[in-house]
Amino acid sequence: MIRGRDGTLQASFPFSVRETAPRGGREFGAPVVPRFPRTPIPLPEERDPKRRSRMNKAVLGIETSCDETGVAVYDLDAGLRAHALYSQVALHAEYGGVVPELASRDHVRKLLPLIRQTLAEGGLSVADLGGVAYTAGPGLIGALLVGAGVGRALAWALDVPAIGVHHMEGHLLAPLMEDPDLHPPFVALLVSGGHSQLIAVRAIGDYELLGETLDDAAGEAFDKTAKMMGLPYPGGPHLAKLAEQGRPGAFVFSRPMTDRPGLDFSFSGLKTQVLLAWQKSDRSDTTRADVARGFEDAVVDTLAIKCERALDATGMDTLIVAGGVGANLRLRAKLAERAAKRGGRVRFPRLAFCTDNGAMIAYAGALRLAAGQHDGATADVRPRWDMAALPSLGGNAGMGNGE
């Protein structure tokens, strides 16, 4: 699809295709130029001017950026109507990490049944949907295309608007989904398998990057360290579980980049320190748990120190934590303890909404659709996408009531 000079969308096919001629047709190998109508295709809201008033209805959210297929329905008035998740962990476990092509194929297999299941569990039909939101990036391109293709096609068929959501904005807004008292300004710590970022959030969509990792993301460091110590994929939760049995202080690792000013992180050197300590050790089960505890404490302390710095630097008193590593119980406890000491507050999404899920995409999409934003008729994805480039929604209006 391309956009014509008048702003309407036009079907187009800019190149010819060589394919075998249909039975009884042209000579084999002759170029076939498909004929598509050149008539402008209006966007849903152009076809139906009342569309905008229907935008606050239930929004279907689709998450397929990596190895979880997530689907949910969020309504800004009624809250979360339904959500379901299918994890590909078992599929990738034997390879010790996510295999992108297998991930895409499994999303293809699971997405439509999961949408049907989610709607049925919420007592909904597709006719109840007022919009569709899908993760458009960042993530694995093939995996993203599955959700974007299905989401965009469904919206087109239902004649409702669709929006591509930034995966990390989904994570960032997840704590707000069920907490009506929570709204910007706040500092957000986003810690997932691909990101470690501190962000000043002045309004929804108004994101200033304060600091980020210079090498491995926090979740990546958890996963790689766990793998080095022979733990199964995905390493983060396994390492955290093992650390519960470890003795604090038996192994003490450095708190990277906390000895100098700044809000950036670096976890790669810490990972190497842990590897050396592990290789030199007796590699017993007790030692494995002690090393895991030493590593977890180092990451948690480092994140906590940088969060306090970010709060000091911005003069804000609310911290929100999101992304898979936000499910780490020691991190949650440490940040809660520090917030209580400072007189500020820290908020997390429920555990299931720290890691990838469809609810956060439905919620972020519902907010943007309610503000009148939507995407065109193409299913565009962005494997890399700077969150600071997102348009601001300004103010805090229309953030919904949560469940």
Name the residues that contact ligand KG4, by CB under 6 A. 66, 192-194, 219-220, 222-223, 234-237, 240, 323-325, 327-328, 355-356
Using the CB atoms, write b or e for 360-397: b if 16+ within 10 Å.
Answer: bbbbbbbbbbbbebbbbbebebbeebebeebeebeeee
Amino acid at 160: V
* Sheet strands (E) in 33-93: 40-41, 58-63, 68-75, 79-87
With respect to Zn ion, which residue has the nearer C-beta, 110 or 255?
A: 110
- 188-217 positions binding Zn ion, by CB under 5 A: 192
Question: What is the nearest approach in angstroms of Zn ion to the Cβ of residue 98?
Answer: 12
CA 95 – CA 360 distance, rounded (Å): 28
Residue 340 burial class via C-beta count within 10 angstroms: exposed 0-12, middle 13-18, buried 19 and up = exposed
Question: What is the nearest approach in angstroms of ligand KG4 to the Cβ of residue 195?
Answer: 7
296 belongs to the binding site for Zn ion (CB under 5 A): no
63 belongs to the binding site for Zn ion (CB under 5 A): no
Residues in contact with Zn ion, shown as a per-residue x/- string from 229 to 268 under the rule CB under 5 A: ----------------------------------------
Question: What is the nearest approach in angstroms of ligand KG4 to the Cβ of residue 328?
Answer: 3
With respect to ligand KG4, which residue has the nearer C-beta, 69 or 355?
A: 355
Question: What is the nearest approach in angstroms of ligand KG4 to the Cβ of residue 313?
Answer: 25
Return phi, psi of residue 141, to 5°: -60, -45
Put residue 107 in one of left, alpha, beta given phi > 0 → left and psi -120 to 50 → alpha: alpha
With respect to ligand KG4, which residue has the nearer C-beta, 139 or 161?
A: 139
| Residues 221 and 268 sit within 8 Å (Cβ to Cβ) | yes
Q: Which does 130 bind (CB under 5 to 8 A by kind): Zn ion, ligand KG4, none?
A: none
Question: What is the nearest approach in angstroms of Zn ion to the Cβ of residue 357?
Answer: 9
357 belongs to the binding site for Zn ion (CB under 5 A): no
Binding segment toward Zn ion, per CB under 5 A, in 227-235, 256-264, 341-349, 351-359: 351-359
Question: What is the nearest approach in angstroms of ligand KG4 to the Cβ of residue 351?
Answer: 8
Which helix (H) or strand (E) is 300 found in, with range?
helix 285-314
DSSP sequence for 225-287: HHHHTTPPSSHHHHHHHHHTTSPTTSS----TT-SSSSS-B--HHHHHHHHHHHHHS---HHH
Binding segment toward Zn ion, per CB under 5 A, in 44-52, 187-195, 272-280, 345-353: 187-195
Of 144, 146, 182, residue with least CA distance to 165: 144
Residues binding Zn ion: what is the number (CB under 5 A)? 2
Q: How many CB atoms lie within 10 A of CB 179?
A: 15
Q: Which does 328 bind (CB under 5 to 8 A by kind): ligand KG4, Zn ion, none?
A: ligand KG4
Q: Which does 75 bind (CB under 5 to 8 A by kind): ligand KG4, Zn ion, none?
A: none
Question: What is the nearest approach in angstroms of Zn ion to the Cβ of residue 10?
Answer: 35
Q: Show the DSSP H helices in 174-234 as ranges.
A: 218-228
Which helix (H) or strand (E) is 302 found in, with range?
helix 285-314
With respect to Zn ion, which residue has the nearer C-beta, 58 or 85?
A: 85
* Binds Zn ion by CB under 5 A, chosen from 346, 356, 359, 360: 356
| Residues 134 and 368 sit within 8 Å (Cβ to Cβ) | no
With respect to Zn ion, which residue has the nearer C-beta, 139 or 400?
A: 139
Q: Which does 358 bind (CB under 5 to 8 A by kind): ligand KG4, Zn ion, none?
A: none
Of 310, 246, 312, residue with least CA distance to 277: 246
With respect to ligand KG4, which residue has the nearer C-beta, 43 or 325?
A: 325
With respect to ligand KG4, which residue has the nearer C-beta, 145 or 243?
A: 243
Distances (CA, A) of 258 to 181, 307, 340, 343, 399: 32, 11, 22, 22, 36
Which residues contact Zn ion (rule: CB under 5 A)? 192, 356
